[in-house]
Amino acid sequence: MHILLLGAGGQVGQEVNALATRQGHKVTACDRAALDITDPVAVARALEKNQPDVLINAAAYTAVDKAESEPELAARINALAPGLIAERCAHARIPFIHISTDYVFDGTKATAYVESDPVKPLGVYGRTKAAGEAAIRAAMERHIILRTAWVYGAYGNNLLKTMLRLAGERDRLTIVADQRGCPTATQDIAIALLAAAHAAARGDARWGTYHFAGTGDTTWHGFASAIIEAAAPHTGRHPEVAAITTADYPTPARRPQNSVLASDLFERSFGVRAAPWQQRTVEVVSALVAPNASAPDAVRP
């Protein structure tokens, strides 16, 4: 299978590239320097030159707070680009897989969000991602939109790596405890994306929008506490993790109080469910801080 991968420099993109390469697939990996995804001519040329079996778009503007002051840039990357990529893919008859987010919801639902729940984003980031989804649906049928949440892994920047850094610098951390979600490892996202890509390349995929997130849910405070617990045996550091409320930590962008995503539809359609978030957290922390850590951004204790 030949994959044209956009956003290859991000945390999900790097994970997908690594896993696809290990599985023996051909990957044409494009980061922002290699391809301007907001340029329809450049996208068309990339598709014509490479003739991939499937295109995976892992590129996004993900600076949630900064998006509030850069709405035009966020819209170009998150809303305009997915639509024009979908148009080019439709013209070339190439399936399109796109990553979206829990931030398309407002977080007021009492239970886990399912794919049919109406979107109601709270801020610029969520609005632009929802607009990107809509543009894809309008442009082509043969697409898969994968909404995920609370992403972390060995590559790039994420909360887990921030907690490891802060644990080495501070004796007390304050973490929001009234927002719930499903921490999702990039490893699991890569597995899911490649399973969807296989189905898409074969032509037997069930097209549409899916949720895919780590199994189990917690709060940011619970996630941070688990990270510190997993790292302590390797680092000897065990700072206090104090619980605070969203009101105690104001940010430019509002966050959903409930970001829990139900992933049952994806499992039924593609046969993949993410590992429990607690398991993956221990694995990623160990890969980063254990004495024999071999992860790309390993932290030496």
Q: Which residues are catalytic?
A: 125
Alpha helix (H) residue ranges in the chain: 11-22, 40-50, 71-75, 81-92, 124-139, 159-167, 186-202, 220-235, 264-270, 277-289
Using a 10 angstrom Cβ sphere, with 0-12 exposed, 13-18 middle and 19 or more buried, the burial of residue 88 is buried
**Cβ-contact 287, 293 below 8 angstroms:** yes
CA distance 224 to 220: 6
Nearest 5°: the CA angle 58, 83, 14 is 10
Nearest 5°: the CA angle 273, 274, 276 is 125
CA distance 190 to 220: 23
**Cβ-contact 157, 11 below 8 angstroms:** yes
